[in-house]
């Protein structure tokens, strides 16, 4: 505690050591309390072995933490929804319980039958709620706005899915395919876990990604929330199938060498009291609720409830939730949604973070939430040392991606969220000739290099209703009429495809230590995402993926897909994204050129709309013979084949050895290349 490791790494944290020590002490204090009472953090996070429905010998045991309830009953199909003979008992901690012995060896509650927790409020009225720890919940799809029911899920041995494949090893750089199972069909329907496993996983594997990030897995009553207003935290969404179907998907991904991350939502919960956790709030104090009371317990922008992260039972619930998804479903890690909202009492609302460290470490910081995140990362990495845990944080809080033991919050990566905003600004507001090379490079490289980032040009956020995919921003209505490859491309489509390739590739090459792409954007998916809702007459038309477009050989979508496949494969061959070696040797505003080295590769990007540079000198560090390993202008990528791939490029020394100022662009060697307009090329050194 004399000097935290994070301060050794980043001396700018020195003025904030008191704050950092305080939050670390709070973490250690709670961890020691947990170890004293529960034995270990790992045991504490097995709350699902105590709460909800469990088996104890020849009995079903059901327990629920509901300290605000005056009385409680268990109801369901098994007792015709009459709880008079299934009253529950309360202990001193507000935990209600009941034991149901088997009858002649048959469980008292049949597998797959519906159940609910009935509790009496202080005014004597009764309300029915879905058990907080329920593992499965269903709704009648034929009834509009029907309520969900909890389902007792304990399949017989012959129906349980048994995992067959080990987890793949952790890659040097995560190349993440962000996907939503429900909208993954080309048909206007909700796709299933098994459909996704059999039809979409092969596409992801073919495009060389090594990690999948699954959205909307936790049950959410409102489909249009994209999975972010969770109602049942331990339940896999029943829209797409059963828990066993989800296990099949993950096991099949593992068999292909694909790791699977879950988009976990611990930043807030749905206000839906009938179907969700909010229903356990009966107006009691914060310490007897999952949520804070008053304004602190409500997110005004999201219309959602906010957790009391300092509460013992809330910590048990959320930490157990993480372990459940890892142990039961074999997820390889998480992407934590809404981390900025958790980190600060102001939730990031109406804040413009400038990078001043005082913005991150003050009374505005929610230390209880930070302490919970430290516990969560400690737990996940103890359970699975190779886990990948990513924070969705727009604030850029220092220490977020440093280890807990040195005083950090413990995430492995943060999302580089400023990058897509910059690209959207350029695509919407600037002419091509006004693009600033320096501004692009600054945005892509403006990060704390001691804390890894996942770069991305566009995720699901960038194509929600009210906005468009990048391909549609670039080509708009021309995508309806001018995408045939049997005729020459018009100027709009030619420009659009060229910039689509360059934007995504330079983001991958410079934007972080990992890369993310949302499902369909690899081939330039048109239009936008719009979930079924009253405003669109409950249409699924914009809530699907048009795989048929990329599968048709006569359409130009294949060119963007081919390039995406090649650029992702480049990392497996050369491991440049995971390399700490990065040097930008040229960012020329007039010529619209960006030249840089990442790993041992040399990248040349020419954003000029019309100028092609023949005999362009580019600097490099390592002397020798270079050849092209990727060219966006190649015919297979919809380009014009202006570069000869059979040319050997030999380096020449530049300046005086040991005097960088005499070098070419501060590089000791150079070679000559052709740089066609609106294209990018990558060169590798041929082994001696």
Give residue 452's Cα distance to chain centre.
Answer: 15
- DSSP count for the chain of H helices, then E strands: 16, 31
Q: Please compute Rg for the chain using Cα positions.
A: 27
- CB-based contacts of 296: which residues, under 8 Å, 6+ apart? 306, 345
CA distance 545 to 525: 8
- Burial degree of 624 (CB within 10 A; 0-12, 13-18, 19+): middle
End-to-end CA distance of the chain: 51
H or E, element range at 153: none
Residue 460 DSSP one-character state? G
Structure tokens at 547: 């795989």
In the residue annotation, 198 being an active-site residue is answered as no
Catalytic residue among 392, 393, 478, 530: 392
Answer yes or no: are the C-beta atoms of 593 and 675 closer than 8 Å: yes
Residues found in the chain: 688
Out of 245, 337, 366, 522, which one is annotated catalytic? Answer: 337
Q: Which helix (H) or strand (E) holds 187?
A: none
Give whole-number Cα distances, 588 to 354, 535, 573, 584, in Å. Answer: 27, 47, 29, 11
Q: Strands, E, within 330-487: which ranges?
A: 333-336, 388-391, 413-415, 453-455
| Lookup: tokens for 170 | 């952790």
* The two structure tokens encoding residue 203: 């596409």
User: Going edge to edge, which strands form the sheet with 669-675?
Assistant: 613-620, 669-675, 652-653
* CB-CB contact of 626 with 684 (8 Å): yes
Cα gap 45→38, rounded to integer Å: 9
Angle formed by the axes of helices 437-445 and 491-510, nearest 10°: 40
The DSSP bridge pattern shows strands 453-455 and 514-518 to be parallel
Q: Is 167 helix (H, G, I), strand (E, B) or coil?
A: coil
Pairing of strands 89-90, 95-101: antiparallel
Is 530 labeled as catalytic in the residue annotation? Answer: no
**Among 154, 91, 130, 54, CA closest to 46:** 54
Q: Which residues are catalytic?
A: 337, 392
């Amino acid at each position: 505690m004399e000097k935290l490791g994070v301060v050794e790494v980043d001396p700018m944290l020195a003025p904030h050591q008191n704050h950092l020590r305080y939050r670390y002490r709070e973490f250690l204090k709670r961890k020691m309390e947990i170890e004293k009472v529960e034995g270990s953090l790992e045991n504490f996070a097995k709350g699902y072995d105590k709460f909800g429905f469990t088996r104890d010998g020849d009995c079903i045991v059901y327990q629920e933490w509901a300290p605000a309830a005056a009385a409680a009953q268990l109801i369901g199909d098994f007792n015709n929804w009459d709880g008079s003979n299934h009253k529950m008992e309360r202990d001193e901690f507000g935990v209600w319980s009941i034991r149901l012995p088997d009858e002649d060896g048959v469980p008292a509650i049949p597998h797959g039958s519906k159940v609910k927790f009935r509790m009496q409020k202080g005014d004597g009225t009764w309300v029915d709620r879905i058990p907080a720890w329920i593992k499965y919940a269903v709704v009648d799809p034929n009834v509009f706005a029907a309520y969900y029911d909890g389902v007792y899920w304990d399949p017989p041995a012959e129906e349980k899915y048994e995992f067959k494949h080990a987890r793949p090893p952790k890659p040097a750089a995560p190349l993440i395919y962000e996907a939503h199972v429900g909208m993954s069909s080309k048909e206007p329907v909700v796709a299933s876990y098994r459909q996704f496993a059999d039809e979409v996983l092969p596409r992801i594997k073919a495009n060389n990604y090594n990690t999948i990030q699954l959205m909307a897995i936790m049950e959410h009553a409102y489909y249009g929330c994209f999975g972010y207003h969770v109602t049942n935290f331990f339940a896999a969404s029943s829209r797409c199938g059963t828990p066993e179907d989800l296990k099949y998907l993950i096991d099949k991904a593992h068999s292909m060498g694909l790791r699977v991350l879950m988009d976990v939502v611990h930043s807030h919960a749905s206000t839906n009291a009938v179907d969700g956790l909010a229903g356990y709030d009966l107006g009691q104090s914060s310490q007897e609720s999952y949520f804070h009371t008053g304004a602190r317990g409500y997110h005004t922008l999201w219309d959602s409830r906010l957790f009391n992260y300092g509460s013992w039972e809330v910590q048990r619930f959320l930490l157990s939730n993480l372990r459940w998804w890892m142990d039961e479903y074999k997820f390889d890690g998480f992407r934590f949604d809404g981390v900025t909202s958790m980190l600060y009492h102001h939730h990031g609302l109406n804040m413009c973070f400038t990078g001043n460290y005082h913005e991150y470490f003050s009374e505005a910081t929610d230390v209880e939430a930070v302490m919970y995140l430290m516990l969560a990362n400690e737990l996940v990495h103890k359970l699975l040392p190779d886990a990948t845990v990513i924070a969705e944080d727009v604030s850029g809080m220092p220490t977020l991606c440093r280890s807990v033991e040195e005083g950090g919050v413990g995430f492995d990566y943060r999302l580089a969220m400023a990058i897509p905003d910059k690209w959207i600004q350029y695509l919407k507001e600037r002419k091509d000739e006004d693009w600033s090379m320096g501004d692009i490079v600054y945005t892509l490289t403006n990060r704390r290099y001691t804390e890894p980032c996942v770069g991305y040009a566009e995720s699901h956020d960038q194509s929600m209703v009210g906005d468009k995919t990048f391909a549609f921003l670039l080509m708009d209505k021309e995508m309806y009429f001018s995408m045939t490859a049997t005729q020459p491309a018009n100027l709009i489509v030619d420009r659009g495809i060229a910039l689509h390739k360059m934007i995504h590739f330079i983001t991958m090459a410079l934007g972080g230590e990992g890369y993310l792409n949302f499902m369909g954007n690899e081939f330039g998916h048109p239009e936008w995402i719009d979930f079924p809702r009253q405003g669109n007459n409950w249409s699924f038309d914009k809530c699907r993926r048009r795989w048929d477009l990329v599968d048709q050989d006569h359409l130009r979508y294949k060119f963007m897909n081919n390039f995406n496949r090649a650029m992702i494969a480049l990392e497996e061959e050369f491991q440049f994204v995971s390399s700490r070696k990065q040097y930008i040797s040229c960012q020329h505003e007039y010529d619209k050129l960006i030249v840089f080295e990442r790993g041992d590769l040399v990248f040349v990007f020419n954003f000029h709309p019309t100028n092609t540079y023949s005999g362009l000198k580019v600097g490099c560090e390592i002397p020798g013979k270079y050849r092209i390993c990727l060219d966006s202008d190649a015919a297979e990528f919809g380009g014009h084949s202006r570069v000869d791939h059979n040319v050997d490029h030999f380096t020449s020394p530049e300046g005086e050895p040991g005097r960088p100022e005499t070098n070419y662009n501060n590089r000791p060697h150079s070679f000559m290349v052709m740089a066609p307009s609106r294209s990018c090329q990558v060169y590798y050194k041929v082994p001696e």
